[in-house]
Amino acid sequence: MSTPRPATAGRPVLVTGGAGFIGCNLVDRLCHEGHDVVVLDSFARRGTVGNVHWLTGHWGAQVTVVESDVRDTATLHRLARDAAAVFHLAAQVAVTTSLEDPIEDFEVNVQATVALLDALRRAGGGVPLLYASTNKVYGGLADVALEARGDAWHPVDPSLRRLGIDEGRALEFHTPYGCSKGAADQYVLDYARCFGVPTVVFRKSCIYGRRQLGTEDQGWVAHFARRALANEPVTVYGDGRQVRDVLDVHDAVGAYVAAWRRIDAVQGQALNLGGGPENAVSLREVLAEMARLVGHEIPVEHGAWRAGDQRWYVSDPRRARTALDLAPFKPWRDGLADLVSWLALEQGAPLPSARVPVHTPVQVRALA
């Protein structure tokens, strides 16, 4: 694989939202590979302070933390100007929050992203930007005919069942969150097309894993696991047959880093990033596996369907796998066991040791 461009050698990598779940795992990976990293985060989300303490405890002076809102344009421009690459993960991430305050959702997700892109355009030097988009840009998929099979919804179309949704799918934005992330997604692609800024868009499905402190509104896999370990009820909105292709965070981080390494080959592209059909699983199936892992049934309460909730979404990740030469993704049951083990240690919750071994920390191999 190619190395970063000489013009950026010695500069730090900027990770916006670097104290968040995916962000802190990405920072950890970059530090493993010897990079200095600047973390820009507002620390608005629960758990982010703990994530930064974890990073600085492991990596010391390799990590510089800047507490700032991504809407602080002056700070954003200053940090972007001096960066070797920018991984833009900072965002307003919940559909429910976007419905409560669509103006703030727009400012964080669209306005700040355009400001960051324009800072890179004005600075010149070809600094790459890798953007975290979402499967929500494809809308509610109301035209996809589905059938209920046991505990999960499945497409009637056998090709969709086998392959999932690819990047050729027409965009259709639902909810203010979908609109803001979709608009930013398109700006990121257009800055590559119009101004030559080397950008990549990752349209992510459900990412889960260690250091995810999920809530009911975002990060549902970890939220379910935390409730299960505490023997507290889980609220399922809709019928629980909703299907997503889940992807372990270490696989997601590997894709981000590989895209930076191969930026000359993939710039200006949107890539779906999810576990694919082999990791497609319904909420009911996740809860059943969690019950097995924690050793008891999980109380479930039900609520009405939420706005913009797709009954079925599964990524076709073949373009990303081919373009980035990605290794096979971790099977969802293995990843779920690892997450539950980590959360059990964090919460001090006992687990049936014969069922869930406590895994040692993941060893990260540097890219060649």
pLDDT digits (tens, 9 = 90+) for 229-279: 999 999 999 999 999 999 999 999 999 999 999 999 999 999 999 999 999
What CA–CA distance (Å, rounded) separates 98 from 40? 22
* pLDDT of 357 above 50: no
Q: Would you say 105 and 92 are in contact if contact means Cβ atoms under 8 Å apart?
A: yes
* pLDDT of 350 above 90: no
pLDDT higher at 117 or 363: 117
Average pLDDT, the chain: 91
Q: pLDDT value at position 353?
A: 53
Q: pLDDT value at position 308?
A: 73
Lowest mean pLDDT among 197-211, 279-293, 299-313, 350-364: 350-364
pLDDT higher at 57 or 96: 57
Q: pLDDT value at position 6?
A: 37
What percentage of the chain carries pLDDT values higher than 70? 92
Name the band, by pLDDT with cuts 50, 70 and 90, for residue 352. low
Spans of all domains in the chain: 91-347
Q: pLDDT value at position 9?
A: 61
What CA–CA distance (Å, rounded) separates 218 from 11? 33
Q: pLDDT value at position 95?
A: 85
* pLDDT of 3 above 70: no
pLDDT higher at 39 or 2: 39
What CA–CA distance (Å, rounded) separates 360 from 357? 9
Name the band, by pLDDT with cuts 50, 70 and 90, for residue 348. confident
* pLDDT of 18 above 90: yes
Q: Would you say 80 and 123 are in contact if contact means Cβ atoms under 8 Å apart?
A: yes
* pLDDT of 354 above 60: no
User: In this structure, which CATH number among 3.40.50.720, 3.20.20.70, 3.40.50.300, 1.10.540.10 belongs to the domain 91-347?
Assistant: 3.40.50.720
Instruction: Give the residue among 339, 317, 346 at the shortest CA–CA distance from 258.
Output: 317
Q: pLDDT value at position 158?
A: 97
Mean pLDDT of 81-100: 93
Per-residue exposure over 275-313, b if at least 16 CB sit within 10 Å of its own CB, e if not: bbbebbbbbbbbbebbeebbeeebebeeeeeeebebbbb
Mean pLDDT of 177-181: 95
Name the band, by pLDDT with cuts 50, 70 and 90, for residue 8. low
pLDDT by residue (tens digit) across 206-229? 999 999 987 777 789 999 999 999
What CA–CA distance (Å, rounded) separates 112 from 101? 16
Mean pLDDT of 93-110: 93
Which residues are identified as catalytic?
A: 177
Q: pLDDT value at position 364?
A: 27
Of the CA atoms within 13 Å of residue 293, those in its CB half-sphere come to: 29
Name the band, by pLDDT with cuts 50, 70 and 90, for residue 311. very high
Name the band, by pLDDT with cuts 50, 70 and 90, for residue 45. confident
pTM for the whole structure: 0.91
Of the CA atoms within 13 Å of residue 326, those in its CB half-sphere come to: 28
